[in-house]
Amino acid sequence: MKQLITLTVFLLTFTAFAQKPCEYSANVTDSIGTYKITNEYLVNEKNFGGTFNYVFFALAQTDGVPTLNVQMIQKSKDFIKANCFDKNSRIFLQLQNGKIVSLMHINQENCGTLIQGGEKGYNNRVNTGVFMFMKDNFEELKKSPVTMLRIKYLTDIEDYIMKSELTSEMNGKVYHPDTYFMKNIRCVE
């Protein structure tokens, strides 16, 4: 009887801490190579004065090279300035353990797309950037939560606090941005 209880407790503990399987929005292998990308994940949301800003992450792997895809969506009735990515753009992730991980933008300039007068007269700007991990600090993202995100654009720098729990006003879902890499980086290794 004692062994049955011990086995039951072990199995319940194992299933409680088991990692959930990776979910991909694309997972393709063909004659050109392989490509897979995780589903987009909301890591920051700001709604203030009729202006809405969203930051989404998705991890991708192209022929064995892992990258971070960042999508910024801005929505406002006012003019939305363009923040451009270029070859000098960077993402800096400050970890809870005090270390800073930096990612380099691929050499492709992008200022996003402005869609004017959309839903209810809102202007929308969508900007996407692809960032490469550096080998020396890739492992650090598995060990510690992220406390702050800094994005260096062509002409500007923006900082975002990475919350441990974020309940989205957009869709009501609960996200955990600070542990995004700890839970998902294994999907592109």
Q: How confident is the model over 111-147, as pLDDT tens digits?
A: 989 888 766 788 899 999 999 998 777 789 999 999 9
Domain range summary for the chain, segments of one domain joined by +: 25-188
Strands 157-161 and 146-152: antiparallel
Report angle CA 70, 20, 145 to the nearest 5 degrees. 50
Is 14's pLDDT higher than 60? no
Is 26's pLDDT higher than 70? yes
Count of C-beta atoms within a 10 Å radius of residue 149: 21
Residue 56 in contact with residue 40, Cβ under 8 Å? yes
Residue 11 in contact with residue 4, Cβ under 8 Å? no
The model's confidence at residue 29, banded by pLDDT at 50, 70 and 90, is confident
The amino acid sitting at 19 is Q
Task: Give the pLDDT score at 17.
Answer: 43
Give me the residue label for tokens 């598995």.
142
Residue 60 in contact with residue 70, Cβ under 8 Å? no
pLDDT, the chain, mean: 87
CA gap 35, 181 in Å, rounded: 19
pLDDT digits over 51-100, tens only? 999 999 999 998 889 999 999 999 998 888 889 999 999 999 999 999 99
> DSSP string spanning the chain?
-HHHHHHHHHHHHHHHHPPPPP-EEEEEE-SS-EEEEEPPEEEEEEEETTEEEEEEEEEEEETTEEEEEEEEEEEESS------B-TT-EEEEEETTS-EEEEEEPS--B--EEETT-GGG-EEEEEEEEEEEPGGGTTHHHHS-EEEEEEE-SS-EEEEE--S-EE-TTT--EE-GGGHHHHHGGGG-
The pTM score is: 0.84
